[in-house]
Structure 1
Amino acid sequence: MLAIVCPGQGAQKPGFLSPWRELPGVAEALASLSEPAGIDLLRHGTESDADTIRDTAVAQPLLVASGIIAASALYQGEGLPSADAFAGHSVGELTAAALAGVLSNEDAMRLVAVRSQAMAKAAAAEPTSMAAVVGGVREDVVATIERHGLRAANINSAAQVVAAGTTAQIAALAQDGPARARVIPLQVAGAFHTPHMAGAREELAAFAPRLRPHDPTVPLISNASGEVISSGARYLELIVDQVAAPVDWEACMATLRDRGVTAMIEVAPAGTLTGLAKRELKGIALANLNTPDDLDAARTLVREHAGAAAAHTAQEN
């Protein structure tokens, strides 16, 4: 069983789309995606500096577009079997929805444009931030986060929880963190996936009815407790709530484990989610699709692992 996963904000690096622009049609595809995104994706993905692409309103559309481009190149003219599941971390769930057929590429870019701008606006209303808490005992970690008035915004793995709240609360956590744990402040300008994003949630809720979602053609796993989404309507409901609710990537990995995943490909800019899988889903085959040089290895993984779940179902029937 093959899962294709899509990274979230923070994975982007200056120039990371430069290798992809050398492929035929990629510059044109990025230009097409730029229109609904409202930004110049090719310029930001090849020329803009780290500070520019750290901006939420730039980073999120850039990440969704890069995942669409990388996955398209993976399957371009190859006749490969589809993946058996898609999942994405935070904004990566919009990428995964496009790859799973829930949203058209255009609608995915329209949605991420509204999402990113709304989240940037909400973040600007009050100085807020996030910090990764690595190690420690989960109960102690969560209790300490809550004692400082913070929220557990991302449950990334058994050993990593991301806290979010005001900058003062994050500073207090760094000074008085959980036992046997490291607190690592993150370079983000917002307490994403917490009630601080309530205004962004309202904007998304107002925009969502303009979209035309479809039921997934391949299982799509939600950040909300690892739920396997069965309808486009349910996807929109969950993705609207997601901006102000925790991302439970640990639950997503548990769902993949329960479904029998044997391989995982992370689309560009890759490495974060396969890194977590290396520790949490031991023994599965992993591939990072960061540049066109990675395509052959990724295609080999698709040929060896994709379609296993469908074949198993057919045998049972």
Structure 2
Amino acid sequence: MLAIVCPGQGAQKPGFLSPWRELPGVEQALSSLSEAAGADLLRHGTESDADTIRDTAVAQPLLVAAGIIAAAQLHGTDEACPADVIAGHSVGELTAAAVAGVFGDEDAMRLVAVRSRAMAQSAAAEPTSMAAVVGGTREDVLAAIERHGLHAANINSAAQVVAAGSVEAIAALGEDGPAKARVLPLQVAGAFHTPYMVGAREELAAFVPSLTATDPSVPLVSNAGGEVVTSGARYLDQIVTQVASPVDWEACMGTLRKRGVTAMLEVAPAGTLVGLAKRDLKGIATATLNTPDDLEAAGALVREHAGVTASTDQED
């Protein structure tokens, strides 16, 4: 049973789209996606430096476009998604929804353009940031985050929680963190997936009625507690609330485990989610689709695992 997963903000790297532009039709596809997003993704994905593509309003459309382009090479634009289940981390949920056919690629880019600009504006309202807390016990980590007036924005795995809030509180957490844990500041300019993003949520809520969503072609695992979404309308509701609510990727992995997933393929720019799976979903096969050179191995994983029922019970 194959899961395709789509990474979130922070996975982007300078020039990571360059090798994809060599494939037939990709240049034209990126031009269309750029027009829909109102951003020069061709330039940002090949020439822009790390600081430029760190900007939320640039990074999010770039990530969604990259995932759409990479996934299309797996199954062709007129064929069904080969996954048995699909999921995305944060903005990666928009990529996952596009790949699963909830809406067309251009609508996905329109949606991510609104989402990214709204989140960037909310982030600019006051100085906020995020930090990864690695290690420690979950009880101690969450208690330390609460003690400093912060929010648990991302629950990424059993060993990693991302705290978000004011810059001062993030600094205080670094100096007075939970026992046996490291606090690693992240290079982001905003407390994403917290109440600081309420303004962005409202703007997204005003936009989504302009979209027509269809039910996903494969089950879509939501960041909201790992819920399996099979309704396009339900997906739109959740993508609105997601920007100001925690991303529970650990729960998503738990859902994949319960469904008997035997393999995970992460689309470009890949590595982060497969890395988490290697620790929390031990024993499954994994592959990353970062460049066209990875297509052969990715295709082999699809052929071996798509549609295959796990031979052992993988329940918690």
TM > 0.5: yes
- Conserved 8 A contact 1:60-1:91: yes
Deviation at 1:309, TM superposition (A): 4.9
Residue by residue over 1:143-191, the C-alpha shift from the partner in whole angstroms, topping out at 9 and shown as x without a partner, is 1000000000000000000000000000000000000000000000000
Paired residue secondary structure (2:57) = helix
Q: How does 1:67-86 map to 2 (within 5 A)?
A: 67-76=67-76, 82-86=82-86
Partner of 2:97: 97
Partner of 1:293: 293
Instruction: Confirm or deny that 1:61 pairs with 2:61.
Output: yes
Deviation at 1:81, TM superposition (A): 7.3
Partner of 1:252: 252
Q: How does 1:168-247 map to 2 (within 5 A)?
A: 168-247=168-247
TM-score by length of 2: 0.96
CA distance in 1, matches of 2:177, 2:17: 37
CA distance in 2, matches of 1:189, 1:278: 29
Deviation at 1:79, TM superposition (A): 7.5
- Conserved 8 A contact 2:264-2:284: yes
Q: How does 1:1-150 map to 2 (within 5 A)?
A: 1-76=1-76, 82-150=82-150
CA distance in 1, matches of 2:107, 2:235: 13
Deviation at 1:77, TM superposition (A): 8.6
TM-score by length of 1: 0.96
CA distance in 2, matches of 1:78, 1:229: 23
- Structure 1 unpaired stretches of 5+: 311-317
Deviation at 1:74, TM superposition (A): 1.6
- Conserved 8 A contact 1:81-1:307: no
- Conserved 8 A contact 1:80-1:303: no
Deviation at 1:230, TM superposition (A): 1.5
Residue by residue over 1:210-246, the C-alpha shift from the partner in whole angstroms, topping out at 9 and shown as x without a partner, is 0000011100000000000021110010000000000
Change (3 A) 1:216 1:80: closer
Partner of 1:315: none
Deviation at 1:254, TM superposition (A): 0.2
Partner of 1:283: 283
- Conserved 8 A contact 2:81-2:100: no
Deviation at 1:76, TM superposition (A): 3.1
- Structure 2 unpaired stretches of 5+: 311-316
Deviation at 1:130, TM superposition (A): 0.1
CA distance in 2, matches of 1:85, 1:19: 27
CA distance in 2, matches of 1:109, 1:78: 19
- Conserved 8 A contact 2:81-2:99: no
Deviation at 1:307, TM superposition (A): 1.4
- Conserved 8 A contact 1:122-1:199: yes
Partner of 2:313: none
CA distance in 2, matches of 1:64, 1:79: 19
Residue by residue over 1:96-126, the C-alpha shift from the partner in whole angstroms, topping out at 9 and shown as x without a partner, is 0001111211111000000000000000000
Deviation at 1:256, TM superposition (A): 0.2
- Aligned AA for 1:149? G
- Aligned AA for 1:270? A
CA distance in 1, matches of 2:226, 2:309: 18
- Conserved 8 A contact 1:80-1:302: no
Paired residue secondary structure (2:154) = strand
Change (3 A) 1:216 1:76: closer
Paired residue secondary structure (1:5) = strand
Paired residue secondary structure (2:10) = coil
Partner of 1:313: none
- Conserved 8 A contact 2:81-2:217: no
CA distance in 2, matches of 1:88, 1:309: 22
- Conserved 8 A contact 2:266-2:274: yes
- Conserved 8 A contact 1:136-1:179: yes
Partner of 1:314: none
- Aligned AA for 1:278? K
Partner of 1:152: 152
Deviation at 1:80, TM superposition (A): 8.5
Partner of 1:165: 165
Change (3 A) 1:173 1:81: closer
